[in-house]
Amino acid sequence: MNRCFQILKQLLRDSVLYMDLVKSVTQEIRVCVKLSDTLESATIIVASEMKVLEGSADPDATVIMKSKVLKDIAGGKAEAFALAGRGRADEKRPIEFEIHTKARAKEIWEVGKALLTFFFTPGRIKIKDLSPERAGQAHGAHPIPLVYWNGIRYSWILVKAGETLNKEGEKDPWPQTFIILEGKGKATIGDVTFQVEPEKAIFVPTNSMHQITAEKDLKLLWLAWNAW
């Protein structure tokens, strides 16, 4: 029995209410899910009518993970997007994504993000558990992506005491906001450093260096827009 195929069929049934968010493509896209340890595979057909085929069926992209990772995702024990997210393209993560049809790379990335957000979240109504145990690792902190869609990026982020979010000091060509939920620390935006505290929103100008260092575990929401 192809366990990968069986799990993807169940995830497809679970996603019926969210199909309009996943299948907004100009033409069919095929995403193969391959289990690196058992070599089982199945292909998600993203089109006007979504379906799952057994095996690798001429995919435009391949998602690679171990069988336990897929099982944990389907059982609600792991967060797919957090496991796939990375701070740099060369980082290795529990979920890897390879694009084969380079001419449609931008569209395929958008479909991949939609699949991670909705398809790979089990349950008929999609609910994400925002707990530190489910967070990934990226940019020096621990995010759980919530929405990456049509130029919007929205994540819950844990910055543990002593850690610095965006330690590399990267600058982004889009506006963004940090909403502090709890904890204590300092933020540096450009050449200005100040204390951060709960119930405050920090607006970051475009192309500005931005960092948040936690003195006590910080939990925050990050929102960026026009982030194409």
In a domain, 67, yes or no: yes
Question: Are 44 and 68 spatial neighbours (Cβ–Cβ below 8 Å)?
Answer: no
Q: What is the pTM of this model?
A: 0.88
pLDDT (tens digit, 9 = 90+) per residue, 120-164? Answer: 999 999 999 999 999 999 889 999 999 998 889 999 999 999 999
Task: Residue 154: give its domain's CATH number.
Answer: 2.60.120.10
Question: Are 142 and 157 spatial neighbours (Cβ–Cβ below 8 Å)?
Answer: yes
Same domain, 70 and 113: yes
Same domain, 138 and 59: no
Task: Residue 33: give its domain's CATH number.
Answer: 3.30.1050.10
pLDDT (tens digit, 9 = 90+) per residue, 164-217? Answer: 999 999 999 999 999 999 999 999 999 999 999 999 999 999 999 999 999 999
Q: Nearest-CA neighbor of 175 among 133, 122, 137, 226?
A: 226
Q: What is the domain range of residue 62?
A: 3-119
Task: Give Dmax over CA atoms of the chain in angstroms.
Answer: 59
pLDDT (tens digit, 9 = 90+) per residue, 80-128? Answer: 999 998 766 667 889 999 999 999 999 999 899 999 999 999 999 999 9
- SS3 sequence, 28-95? CEEEEEEECCCCCEEEEEECCCCEEEECCCCCCEEEEECHHHHHHHHCCCCCHHHHHCCCCCCCCCCC
